[in-house]
Amino acid sequence: MDGMMEILSQFHFLRPLWLLLLVPAGLLSWSMHRQADPLRTWRKAIAPHLLKHLLVSSMEKGGRWRPVRLLTVGWLVSILALAGPTWQMQPSPFTEDLAAMVIILKVTPEMLARDIQPSRLQRGVQKIHDLLELKKGVRTALIAYAGSAHLVMPLTSDAGVINDFAAALEPGIMPVAGDEPAEAITLANQRLSQANTAGSIILITDHVDVSYLQELATIHEQGGVDVHILAIAGGADVIPPPGSPPAPPVDADSLSSAADVMGGSLVMISADKSDVRHLSTLVERSISRAPPQEGQQWEDAGYLLVVVIMLIMLFFFRHGGSVALE
């Protein structure tokens, strides 16, 4: 249902002026229907309530697929095809696909908690690998943050390099302790803006403090890029194994609020790949809603209606399939 509503919201015509032909086509069709009416002369001479009793049934029924009706449908479909209906973007065949995504990974001591096995951080790295498997060829950047945010890998189509750098991340290499998601999201917006590309941001974290909500909302208003959150922490009912670093359980309410103010959605981590598949769908939806960038164009669906026109034309090759204008 959401997909249908999204299509309807983006539906428009590339060449709407062709729709003006509907006016003369409608008048001409009405005129031909009058001329094709075998009872037109009799209707002027005999009252309607008497005429119906004087007719043979074959004179009343001209058939559902009368040539005049088929011609009217053919004109309507042809005009719609010329107007160029469209509802989705397509990459230009002469330029590379500029869509991109930026993955932000929280790298703090809390991410070493083992309520999610083998740890929150390692599972986050695994989810990055799974997501890149689904989004092969999409340019991706990687940002790590703790008390400060740092670009680990700029936009690249080489998933192997991103996987290698993500696997090497650990809290000990972060220069500043803390938790600054707003700085990381600002950096992600800057990278997408500098690349002049439509994109989406994925934040992999276990917690976002509610004190950041206003700042995150302001960043989204200025940057306009949707931020989807992958929550990677166990619930309050999960007992971490002995020796696990202390870390609060997942707070779905605060994470959901953060995703809302950033125009994105919250995805809870799952044991299988359903969470990653959901993220992949969200990324595609965010990119499709973004303003068209260089190298993108609206896909003309008018060509699909040519098949319908050809099928209608087949009826005019049968006996009695002609239409005469007097």
Binned at pLDDT 50, 70 and 90, residue 285 comes out as confident
Summarised one tens digit per residue, pLDDT across range 124-158 is: 999 999 999 998 888 999 999 999 999 999 999 99
Q: What is the DSSP string of 228-290?
A: EEEE----TT--PPTTPPP-PPP-HHHHHHHHHHTT--EEE--SSSHHHHHHHHHHHHHHHHS
> What integer pLDDT is reported at residue 42 of this predicted model?
60
pLDDT digits over 192-204, tens only? 988 888 789 999 9
Task: Check whether 57 has a pLDDT greater than 90.
Answer: no
- Cα radius of gyration (the chain): 30
CA angle 260, 261, 267 (to 5 degrees): 35
31-40, 74-83, 250-259: which range is least confident on average?
Answer: 31-40
Q: What is the distance in angstroms between the CA of the first residue and the CA of the last residue of the chain?
A: 49
Please write the tens of the pLDDT for every residue from 226-278: 999 999 998 888 888 888 888 889 999 999 999 999 999 999 999 999 999 99
Residue 170 CA to residue 119 CA, distance in Å, equals 11
**Tokens standing for residue 57:** 């049934």
Please state the domain extents for the chain. Answer: 2-88+299-317, 100-296
| Residue 119, pLDDT score | 94
Residue with tokens 């951080």: 121
**Vertex 250: Cα angle to 248 and 254 (nearest 5):** 105
Q: Which of 32-41, 82-91, 282-291 has the lowest mean pLDDT?
A: 32-41
**Over the stretch 170-185, which tens digit does the pLDDT of each residue have?**
999 999 999 999 999 9
Tell me the C-alpha distance between 226 and 216, whole Å: 11
Class of domain 100-296: alpha beta
Mean pLDDT computed over every residue of the chain: 83
